[in-house]
Amino acid sequence: MLSFWHVHARDYARQASEHPDTEITAVWDEDAARGRAWADDLGARFHPDLGELLARDDVDAVVVTCPTTAHREVITAAAAAGKHIFTEKVLAPSPAECAEIIAAAEKSGVALMLALPRLYDGYTTAIRKVLADGELGRLTLVRIRLAHGGSVGEGWLPEHFYDPAATAGGALIDLGCHPMYLARLFLGHMPETVTGSFGHVTERAVEDNAVAVLRCANGTLGVVEASFVTPASPFSIELHGTEGSLVYGTPEPRLLLSAAGAWRELPVPPRTGTPFELFVRHVADGTRDEENLALGLDLTHLMAAATRSSREEGSRI
């Protein structure tokens, strides 16, 4: 485990501990006190030096949950040491850093996979089939919202989540990653322009309320919404086309399709697996999830464009 900075680190530690083919043997953390505490809790050895951990022959793979702005340094070091890499999103704050990371993994021949869990959920599989079957006609709008109340009142998000030097952003680059990569997936290609608008409801250094609008060359629009200040807001997906509409999570987790003038509920298949389970499978099989990496790279491009746009008072990029 490389750091417990991210709130999902404990989830990945649990998954690694419970998986029959993996065990946690070592921990490194830029915060030594935090790292030692987690190492003790997991029965693993703590290494204050990252290079020392990466030099261990009995470490085959690493889980990267350090500050987002440290991903390039940590992941390229792990790749150079021949370790397979499972990393929290985003891969890196800038496209250039992403390219360096991907090149390092390819050079060393190691697996590299991002935690993009909603890519493998059953509703995503079902929606992709609706699109492939053409039931919506020509797609005109994709809208996806994901929010929680982690910044409301005292909040449950750790204070370091509001440090732009570590996070490279707030609600959009963290929570908004999920609707952003799904929007990119459903649109089928990268948009022509991205417009970002960020709000600071709690007046912290990073945004806690965000919207990004993606406009494609063919006129199709994507709307991505993310918030740390709306605890009752459901995760929701809307797709609209010239011949039908599809909604999910409004608020029940049901997938509804309106086509040929009538609404009907569609079955949602089981999820393909957790990203960590799929990562372990790729390592064992010597394969790579090419779609995962491609979406991860596009995700950083979209996040960087939305952030630039928000700083320029909403100008389109």
Q: Is 283 helix (H, G, I), strand (E, B) or coil?
A: helix
What CATH number should be reported for the domain holding residue 132? 3.30.360.10
- Round the CA-based radius of gyration of the chain to a whole number and report it: 20
Question: Within this chain, do residues 38 and 133 fall inside the same structural domain, yes or no?
Answer: no
**Percent of the chain topping pLDDT 90:** 96
Average of per-residue pLDDT values in the chain: 97
Omega prior to 251 cis, within 30 of 0? yes
Q: Which of the residues in the chain have pLDDT under 70?
A: 313-317
Question: Within this chain, do residues 55 and 151 fall inside the same structural domain, yes or no?
Answer: no
Question: Within this chain, do residues 47 and 170 fall inside the same structural domain, yes or no?
Answer: no
Question: Within this chain, do residues 103 and 245 fall inside the same structural domain, yes or no?
Answer: no
pLDDT tens digit string along 22-56?
999 999 999 999 999 999 999 999 999 999 999 99
pLDDT of residue 267: 98
Specify the number of domains making up the chain.
Answer: 2
pLDDT of residue 124: 99
pLDDT tens digit string along 177-205?
999 999 999 999 999 999 999 999 999 99
Contact 22, 29 (CB under 8 A): no
Q: Is residue 300 part of a domain?
A: no
Taking CB atoms within 8 Å and a gap of at least 24, the contacts of 308-311 are 308/196, 309/194, 309/195, 309/196, 309/197, 309/212, 310/196, 310/197, 310/198, 310/207, 310/210
Q: Is residue 278 part of a domain?
A: no
Q: Dihedral angle at the C-alpha atoms of 15, 19, 21, 26, nearest 10 degrees?
A: 40
Question: Within this chain, do residues 124 and 259 fall inside the same structural domain, yes or no?
Answer: yes
Q: Is residue 196 part of a domain?
A: yes
pLDDT of residue 102: 97
pLDDT of residue 21: 98
pLDDT of residue 312: 87
pTM: 0.96
CA distance 287 to 283: 7
pLDDT of residue 316: 60
- Give, for 122, the enclosing helix (H) or strand (E): helix 122-132
Question: Within this chain, do residues 226 and 198 fall inside the same structural domain, yes or no?
Answer: yes
Q: Is residue 201 part of a domain?
A: yes
pLDDT of residue 175: 97
pLDDT of residue 317: 52
Domain that holds residue 65: 9-115
Q: Dihedral angle at the C-alpha atoms of 81, 84, 88, 89, nearest 10 degrees?
A: 90
Domain boundary among 115, 133, 158: 115
Number of alpha carbons in the 13 Å side-chain half-sphere of residue 241: 23
Neighbours of 231 (CB within 10 A): 13
pLDDT of residue 260: 83
